[in-house]
Structure 1
């Protein structure tokens, strides 16, 4: 059965896009070669933690959304949006394997006049030098002449119910002006504002800038938090004061590490697709190094606090609060909690956790005991570590109950806990 839209990749980008399309009345099919998302969706559940609720999935299905593992469906659509994951590989370069597989699956079924859009976060040049050749070789069609090709990197904020696809401007860069306008016509049905970039590389680089801006600024406040602790300065009060400046400052806050789906990218560093500018972004590399050190710093602070209270990490009962990468969501993507738990376990600590959004949590494939009663668990633990400040946590009450509380988010009242 033909559809207006195919969303390729039913992950943290693809699912919300498919939801928005169905809500807008667009006949949508969702393709993913992995059978797990298909099975979960057909059962009325979201295959992505912290993405859609079960009721939202049911509304999508009742609205006509059709998940599938059959690539033949891709040959019956007017628009195809590729939302395949593009994670960092072991060498810290972007892994385009899933994107390549998606492109090949689409290419062999690509019809003239189809609009192909790329939402995956990729290095500049990927649309033109990686995706375009795969589509052209597999289809025998020419991008910009026989079909439209554009990049519009995803901008969704998982768990944010205020900022949705509808009210978040969409940046679009097409291979040709006609490609850009075709993409704008599609996204104009989903969002209030479309921003036209000069081309695909500018659209791709926009995502790189946005992601690196976040990581560099988090690195700055992480480094200052360590410095201020050594100097005896309340850095959280410093931030409170600084954010009153009405111009030239945007507040960022330190934490135990940086999680999330947006990974820092250095397009001038290790070559992608045989291309390198030869001008690596040194600030991005340094920011990554600083942020990667934060879980170790948290462990150091845990050991110091326990030692100051006459206890050793070995044998200590440590309760971790909040194991997701963002507050008030179940999304655990790259959350520092797992690394912190692993290091504490290696040092001989007895780890437990509490998170209202995560009912089962595993470290090294082993289940970590979940606290049923938060206050009782905090009172019994030698050390409680707040890693994520979910809205349901009564931090003032928690500070009273806990024997020893380390707040890595600066969320507790001043003087109620030891802050990062």
Structure 2
């Protein structure tokens, strides 16, 4: 039976979209080039690294009952009305989003793309990607023209994994189409899944929404990370400062420091250089809209504040490691040979997704100092650092009592921090989540 929707890429963006679509009766085809991902979902098994902390086998059964099926056969993509590309875009060596998976997904779709299909990109990308990178792949591979033969749009992924207040239905969805008709086609689809659709002027504006939202998070976390070091040098309780400051009803939003910043959104300090997204200056614009010079392939004006934020946040794992060594030394112990237990190795509370989490670098630095590192995370069954498995503590309180130092890197709701503070020989809380006076804070 033909599906209404094809979701290309069954990861942190794709699965929530599938769940939202099937919940409202949209027959959905999930395509992933990795046969293991499709096979696991087809068999009702949870994908590895349960990124949103709430997906269960029962959810998979409900998705299947709602019309979800998976495939590794790209020919099936030619039988849908809407195709959404949710391919991963990890940070590349040049500091920009790597588009290899997006290109692979686009080529698989292009070979079977039919007229009147609505194609949407949701992956985190730099401005210009939809028009300058995705569009030519789809057009060259299909012989169809975007904006005339099929609809093309961008919609930034906005879900907050683990958030129990805001989900797919009550989080506004931003849409930017190549033409007004493209925008309306995409808006008509997403209007079935969410309560509010926000129309951007075009794909570049929608892509830049994601850049702004990601940069906003990184810059503000960098500010409080700098304040954490500043306040410690002054002997000021930063957590009390934040508690008081957030009572201001205007002009302030509370962010809290931590051991670093993770997540799938890549902060962007400047337009990328290189040939990932070639300029399409010779390509005419879509019907009813002037052509736009492609700038994504050339360096742009740097965003100095974002560059500085990346530097500040990038220093935090080293700062945490130095705090660990100093605490051990203050209590008559050396980092060499010390037993260090890391609590929470994911990048967000109550999820298992480790994308960009600072835990790996902190563990690596501690190992370089000669420490014996173990970990506990209720959402992560196995963890590797530098290709080596890290021992997992199954009995949490016993492990904390045995460790010379316990370090809270992520505050999962299941952690009883007051109880852990009683059991642990030394507890360093990098999230400021433990009761005052029960642990050392960042």
Normalising by the residue count of structure 2, what TM-score does the alignment of the two structures yield? 0.93
SS in 2 for 1:410: coil
Check the 8 A contact 2:97/2:124 in 1, yes or no.
no
Aligned mates of 2:92, 2:272 — CA distance in 1: 14
Check the 8 A contact 1:83/1:118 in 2, yes or no.
yes
Q: For residues 74 and 199 of structure 1, do their structure 2 counterparts lie closer, same or farther at Cα, with a shift above 3 Å needed?
A: same
- Residues 390-420 of structure 1 show CA distances to partners (whole Å, capped at 9, x for unaligned) of 1121111211221111110001111211100
The equivalent of 1:3 in structure 2 is 3
The equivalent of 1:276 in structure 2 is 298
Aligned mates of 2:154, 2:380 — CA distance in 1: 34
SS in 1 for 2:277: coil
The question of 1:149 aligning with 2:152 is answered yes
Q: Unmatched 5+ residue regions in structure 1?
A: none
SS in 2 for 1:155: coil
Check the 8 A contact 1:268/1:281 in 2, yes or no.
no
Cα deviation, residue 267, structure 1: 4.1
Cα deviation, residue 56, structure 1: 0.6
Cα deviation, residue 360, structure 1: 2.2
Cα deviation, residue 80, structure 1: 0.5
The question of 1:298 aligning with 2:301 is answered no
Aligned mates of 2:87, 2:352 — CA distance in 1: 21
Check the 8 A contact 2:25/2:67 in 1, yes or no.
no
Given candidates 334, 359, 368, the residue that maps to 1:346 is 368
Given candidates 347, 351, 354, the residue that maps to 1:325 is 347
Cα deviation, residue 39, structure 1: 1.4
Check the 8 A contact 1:89/1:95 in 2, yes or no.
yes
The question of 1:49 aligning with 2:50 is answered yes
SS in 1 for 2:4: strand
SS in 2 for 1:3: coil
The question of 1:166 aligning with 2:188 is answered no
Aligned mates of 1:177, 1:193 — CA distance in 2: 18
- Residues 23-73 of structure 1 show CA distances to partners (whole Å, capped at 9, x for unaligned) of 111111011111111111012123252332221112111222111000001
The question of 1:99 aligning with 2:102 is answered yes
Cα deviation, residue 277, structure 1: 5.6
The equivalent of 1:22 in structure 2 is 22
Mean CA deviation greater in 328-337 or 227-236: 328-337
The question of 1:388 aligning with 2:410 is answered yes
Given candidates 241, 253, 263, the residue that maps to 2:244 is 241
- Residues 157-200 of structure 1 show CA distances to partners (whole Å, capped at 9, x for unaligned) of 11223211111000000111111110110000000000000000
The question of 1:366 aligning with 2:388 is answered yes
The equivalent of 1:137 in structure 2 is 140
Q: How many aligned residue pairs are there? A: 420
Aligned mates of 2:300, 2:356 — CA distance in 1: 29
Aligned mates of 2:38, 2:137 — CA distance in 1: 26
The question of 1:188 aligning with 2:191 is answered yes
Aligned mates of 2:164, 2:250 — CA distance in 1: 27
Cα deviation, residue 268, structure 1: 3.0
Check the 8 A contact 2:111/2:142 in 1, yes or no.
yes
Check the 8 A contact 2:270/2:300 in 1, yes or no.
no
Cα deviation, residue 379, structure 1: 1.6
Mean CA deviation greater in 322-331 or 186-195: 322-331
Check the 8 A contact 1:269/1:280 in 2, yes or no.
no
Aligned mates of 1:270, 1:308 — CA distance in 2: 47
Check the 8 A contact 2:176/2:204 in 1, yes or no.
yes
The question of 1:285 aligning with 2:286 is answered no
CA RMSD of superposed structures (Å): 1.3
Moved beyond 6 Å, runs of 4+: none
Normalising by the residue count of structure 1, what TM-score does the alignment of the two structures yield? 0.97
